[in-house]
Structure 1
């Protein structure tokens, strides 16, 4: 049996932009993708701390060092610049490995700088 487990989390990211005219996705600073292990085009859930809203989209790469967290397409209506969000991805893990499995959690601070890995 496979269990769906948290793979990666970017915790308390600040939305830096929202573009309804762009064709979908969430642009994430390449440094944050690398730190979390989230891959470009990987499905992610975005949890809006400010509103409680949740939506599913996919990650795309924003320029390294930009601090960008930009929601695009229809989902841009679900956030505002400055909102705090949690971005999560999941993976399937064999049940016998799940108890010892640990996700990557990246806690972000001001300007979406990495504060710590948890």
Structure 2
């Protein structure tokens, strides 16, 4: 059984943007930053605010409420007030779709996009 689930079409993600997706009851922010795609839990670890509503820049996402900044590769906070990491999930591009693997342990780093034909 495949652990990869379709999250969205690549065309739905503009560069340096995030999109809120519900995957089987798990709220995920799928993110495009440059040529890379990421999936991160859609909740700031500081104030339970949707990260998908924040700004994306150079492999980071910022919570709009208190400006906590998170690394999209690791989920680790890069600035206060957040001190706890946010789970990240592996992503993969399959044709025109972005797939996410929610079965990966949250401490695993999202890998840059493995391409499939």
Q: TM-score when scaled to structure 2?
A: 0.31
Compare the two structures and name the one with the higher helix fraction: 1
Q: Which has the higher contact order (CA 8 A, sep 6+)?
A: 1
Compare the two structures and name the one with the higher strand fraction: 1
